[in-house]
Chains A and B, each alone.
Chain A
């Protein structure tokens, strides 16, 4: 079965699938990238917000802490009883009762506020009285001077005492009734105890999150608190302001808000920068980008993992589907082929059956013909022989007893039986030709025609004929049957030419078509009436009287039969008294002799 190739889809090639897969991967990558970008900016935003919130809280705490000093020192130094006591003490510094009372009171205050210590200094900086811890340092003198000069509460910078503890000092002048400062009150706050926990505390678990308190110190940013990642002690590490990449530098230069840069370790960090209100301090709240975006990285990893898994799954699915479609296609093909084969097989079987039937018929009819021929040759001829035999004996042994008429009648009996014998011979010949199996071989037609000529001319006729044989193209066919063609045609020619004065028999061939050779036998014999040319090749058909020419009308019928079985045709040309020509064609490369 022929199916036009375009009506039947072929096996979908893997190319389509690969293209589809690549498209899928591209879309997936695009969606992934978009999702990642959105998510990362969201996470970044979240992180900044987290950091900002923490920073805001912390700066508020720190600011509050500082304000507590302001308020505390202002409240104490502004207390009229305290101021009066201090003024009294300033006038009578050696009054032990007064000193003890003031010291107790300050001690009580310290106990209550939790500060390190409190001290009263004379306006010239001399220590008048102290409670708790107090440490002398350059910063102390500066703060005391500033307090008197500004006549108000002042907070010192953080400073590290000899003990290594970091302090902040709040100072405020204590005035007498006239408003003349009689002393300066200083409160020593402990950064270690109060400030640093505020700074260093982190509301959530984090490895890299860190809050830095910095202040500008000349041309550098000074880190006030202890650094997480550096062994340096508090207030000893500083970064030049030229290193603008550092968040601490940016912070002390006044930059606020979100920040992305490298910290003192050189590690990329995100951070929040803001100043501590009411202070020279700046706060850097930062976290390593790696940690901040760890979630993002994790998400990206998950995203990539999911994408790759999805891609593999899709690839596997596509491969499975492809294979499935291939298998389905092949199965369809198989089914189709099986159907075709089945059809073909059925057709073949049918054909075989028909051929077998026809063969059986042919065999049967051949067998019938054979048995017919057998009985003709055997059964019909036996009585014929008896008639002829006994008529002959009658003639020989009783001939003298017959008169002329009797002998003539006896002669008719005998000649009739002989003629009938010839007819039977003819029928047998024809049936033999019909039944004969053609055994093809390469046949030299020239030699065959010559041999036939030698056969048909009797010795007494030898030399009476002008026989012209042109070289004939060879052919392929049954040599015995083809020889019979020549024999019949030549014997005919001899028979009808013999009575003529000019006795010329010509044998030749012309190439009629590409694959067709036409052989001919021409004679100068008696010829025939072309009106009856078609009757020439019929069985038992004769155009001449028996008395003129003997014959039973079998020869040409045999010729036609043989030529037809070789795939050729016969024809005859002639006119009365002008000779006759018999033509027969033979295909050069006969594919099939049988018709």
Chain B
């Protein structure tokens, strides 16, 4: 991974099966050429801040969208969201919470922290694929993000 690599999508997902399903769904529709997958919140922040394992990465190349699971080891998804939306440099990056939790509290907290979208992963795979397709299509192709 070169330092100047363009990253279109950051997938933060600890469950490898969920991650694989998500990646398959994205690939099936050729939505993401460059996807980075991290498995916990701490690593996600390291990536975004280009530090620790991700030191040297060009911070100018931030992802177009972040798919964020909530239940994560070490630093959980809501904490990642809070840090991002509290930092003016990271705040413009769209974050889509992609979670199995339909808990009202998670939903409310996420939106209060400034999440851009909240999607509950359907168990039904075709529906899941459809959901991924739509969100990828929207955030990667339709939505315009400010240039860093």
Contact = CB atoms under 8 A, between A and B. Distances in A.
Contact of A382 (B17, B24, B102): B17
A384 interface: yes
Interface stretch (A111-119, A273-281, A389-397, A553-561): A389-397
Given A392-B126, A421-B123, A421-B124, A385 B21 contact: yes
A428 B104 CA distance: 11
Contacts, number: 55
Contact of B102 (A383, A384, A389, A428): A428
B104 to A, nearest CB: 7
B91 to A, nearest CB: 27
Contact of B21 (A381, A386, A421, A432): A386
Contacts of A392: 125-126
Contacts of B126: 392
Interface in A255-298: none
Given A384-B123, A388-B124, A393 B24 contact: yes
Interface in A394-451: 417-418, 421, 428, 432
> What's the interface size class on B, roughly?
10 to 19
A392 B21 CA distance: 10
Contact of B101 (A377, A388, A393, A417): A377
A383 B101 CA distance: 14
A373 interface: yes
Contact of B123 (A374, A381, A390, A432): A381
A468 B18 CA distance: 47
Contacts of A418: 123-124
Among A378, A389, A390, A418, residue most surrounded by chain B Cβ atoms (within 10 Å): A389
A385 B24 contact: no
A397 B99 CA distance: 26
Nearest to B104: A432
Contacts of B18: 382, 385-386
Interface in B77-114: 99-104
Contacts of B104: 432
B125 A393 contact: yes
B49 interface: no
A96 to B, nearest CB: 172
B101 A385 contact: no
Contacts of B121: 381, 385
A378 B124 contact: no
A51 B54 CA distance: 145
B71 interface: yes
A385 B128 contact: yes
Interface string A499-528: 000000000000000000000000000000
A417 B18 CA distance: 15
Given A381-B123, A384-B123, A385-B128, A374 B17 contact: no
Q: Taking chain A's interface residues, is the majority helix, strand, or loop, or is none over half, making it mixed?
A: helix
A389 B101 contact: no
A374 B125 contact: no
Interface string B54-74: 000000000000000001000
B3 interface: no
A421 B100 CA distance: 11
B123 to A, nearest CB: 4
A391 B124 CA distance: 10
A215 B126 CA distance: 162
B15 interface: yes
Contact of B103 (A377, A389, A417): A377
A378 B101 contact: yes
B110 to A, nearest CB: 14
Given A385-B123, A417-B123, A421-B123, A390 B17 contact: yes
B100 A389 contact: no
Among A388, A391, A421, residue most surrounded by chain B Cβ atoms (within 10 Å): A388
Contacts of B101: 374, 377-378
Among B100, B101, B125, residue most surrounded by chain A Cβ atoms (within 10 Å): B125
Interface in B36-66: none
B10 to A, nearest CB: 20
A521 B99 CA distance: 37
Nearest to B25: A389
A393 B99 CA distance: 20
Interface string B1-42: 000000000000001011001001000000000000000000
A383 B17 CA distance: 8
A387 to B, nearest CB: 9
Contacts of A386: 15, 17-18, 21
Given A382-B100, A388-B123, 8 more contacts: A374-B103, A377-B102, A385-B122, A391-B125, A392-B125, A393-B24, A418-B124, A421-B124
29 contacts: A373-B103, A374-B101, A374-B103, A377-B101, A377-B102, A377-B103, A378-B100, A378-B101, A381-B121, A382-B18, A382-B100, A385-B17, A385-B18, A385-B122, A385-B123, A385-B128, A386-B15, A386-B18, A389-B125, A389-B128, A390-B17, A390-B21, A392-B126, A417-B123, A418-B123, A418-B124, A421-B123, A421-B124, A432-B104
3 tightest Cβ-Cβ pairs between the two chains A and B: A392-B125, A386-B17, A421-B123
